[in-house]
Amino acid sequence: MSHLKKLTILALIAFVAFSCNKDDDPKPIDYPETITELAVATPDLSNLVAALQKADLATTLNGAGPFTVFAPTNAAFTTFLADNGFSSVDDVPVDVLTQILLNHVILGEVKSNQIQTGYVKTLADGPVDGSKLSMYLDASSGVKINGISDVTTPDINATNGVIHIVDAVIGLPTVVDFALADSNFSTLTSALTRADLTFDYVSALSTPNGTDPAPFTVFAPTNDAFASLLTELGVTSLDDIDEPTLKAALDLHAVAGANVLAAGLSDDMTVTTLGGDITANVTGGATLTDSNGRVSNITFTDVQAANGVIHVIDKVLLPKLPPNIVGKALDTPSLSILVEALQAADGNLVDVLNGPGPFTVLAPDNDAFTAFLSDNGFASLADVPTDVLSQILLNHVISGKVMSTDLVDAGAGYASTSATGAGGNPMSIYFNTSDGVKFNGISSVTTPDIEVTNGVIHIVNKVIGLPTVVDQAVANPNFSSLVAALGAADGDLVTVLGGEGPFTVLAPDNDAFATYLHGAALGDVPTDALANLLLNHVISGVVTSTDLVSEEAGYTNTLAVGPNDNKLSLYYNTTDGVKFNDVSSVSKADIVTSNGIIHAVDAVIPIPTVVTFATADPNFSTLVSALTTLTPNTDFVATLSGTGPFTVFAPTNAAFDALGTPPAEPVLTQVLLHHVVSGNYQSGDLNQSGDTTVPTLQGDNITITLPGTGGNIADMTDGAGNTDIGIIKVNVQAGNGVIHVINKVLLPSS
**What's the DSSP call for residue 722?**
-
- Per DSSP, the residues of 537-555 read TEEES---HHHHHHH-EEE
String of b and e for 57-76 (b: at least 16 CB within 10 Å)? Answer: bbebbbeebbbbbbbbbbeb
The pair phi, psi for residue 463, each rounded to 5°, is: -70, 135
**Which residues have a Cβ under 8 Å from the Cβ of 487 and sit 6 or more positions away?**
493, 494
- Whole-angstrom CA distances from 116 to 110, 140, 696 are 10, 8, 93
Provide the CATH topology of domain 612-742: FAS1 domain (2.30.180)
Contact 32/71 with Cβ under 8 angstroms?
A: no
Q: What is the pLDDT of residue 32?
A: 65
Give the tens place of pLDDT for each residue, 237-251.
999 888 988 999 999
User: Which pLDDT does position 684 carry in this prediction?
Assistant: 87
Q: What is the pLDDT of residues 477-523, one digit of tens each?
A: 999 999 999 999 998 999 999 999 999 999 999 999 999 999 899 99
CATH no., domain 32-172: 2.30.180.10
> Contact 596/504 with Cβ under 8 angstroms?
yes
How confident is the model at residue 631, as a pLDDT?
96
Secondary structure element (H or E) that encloses residue 398, with its range: strand 397-399
d(CA 445, CA 459): 6
Give every CB contact of residue 465 below 8 A, 6+ residues apart in sequence: 372, 392, 395, 471
| Torsion of Cα atoms, 395 then 396 then 399 then 404, to 10° | 140
For 546-603, what is each residue's pLDDT tens digit? 999 988 899 999 999 999 999 999 999 999 999 999 999 999 999 999 999 999 999 9
Q: Given a cut of 50, is residue 410 above it in pLDDT?
A: yes
pLDDT of residue 687: 77
**Kind plus residue range of the DSSP H or E element containing 460:** strand 455-460
Nearest by Cα to 259 from 326, 322, 205: 205
As a 3-state breakdown, the chain gives helix, strand, coil percent values, each rounded to 5, of 35, 30, 35
How far is the CA of 432 from the CAs of 7, 428, 443, in angstroms?
100, 13, 10
Strand blocks (E) in 537-637: 538-540, 553-561, 567-573, 579-580, 584-592, 596-601
> DSSP code of 353?
H
The CATH classification number of 177-313 equals: 2.30.180.10
Statement: residue 396 has pLDDT above 70: yes
pLDDT higher than threshold 50 for residue 81: yes
Query: Tens digit of pLDDT for each residue in 614-645?
Result: 999 999 999 999 999 999 999 999 999 999 99
> Residue 436's CB: how many other CB atoms inside 10 A?
12
pLDDT at position 11 over 60: no
The C-alpha atoms of residue 563 and residue 583 are separated, in whole angstroms, by: 22
Sequence-distant (6+) residues with CB within 8 A of 230 are 236, 237, 238, 240
Domain ranges in the chain?
Answer: 1-30, 32-172, 177-313, 325-466, 471-608, 612-742
Instruction: Tell me how far apart the alpha carbons of residues 32 and 39 are, in angstroms, rounded to a whole number.
Output: 13
pLDDT tens string 365-386: 999 999 999 999 999 999 999 9
471-608 shares its CATH topology with 612-742: yes
In the DSSP assignment, the letter for residue 708 is -
* CATH, range 471-608: 2.30.180.10
The per-residue DSSP string of 464-480 comes to -----HHHHHHH-GGGH
Q: Is the pLDDT of residue 29 over 90?
A: no
Q: Say what the pLDDT of residue 321 is.
A: 79
- By DSSP bridging, strand 701-706 and strand 690-695 are antiparallel
Beta bridge partners of 256: 216
pLDDT 10s digits, 655-709: 999 998 989 999 999 999 999 999 999 998 887 788 999 999 999 999 999 999 9
CA 656 to chain centre: 53
Mean pLDDT of the chain: 92
Q: What is the pLDDT of residues 172-190, one digit of tens each?
A: 999 999 999 999 999 999 9
Q: Which fold has domain 325-466?
A: FAS1 domain (2.30.180)
Rg (CA), the chain: 44
Per cent of the chain over pLDDT 90 is 86
At residue 168 the predicted structure's pLDDT band, cuts being 50, 70 and 90, is very high
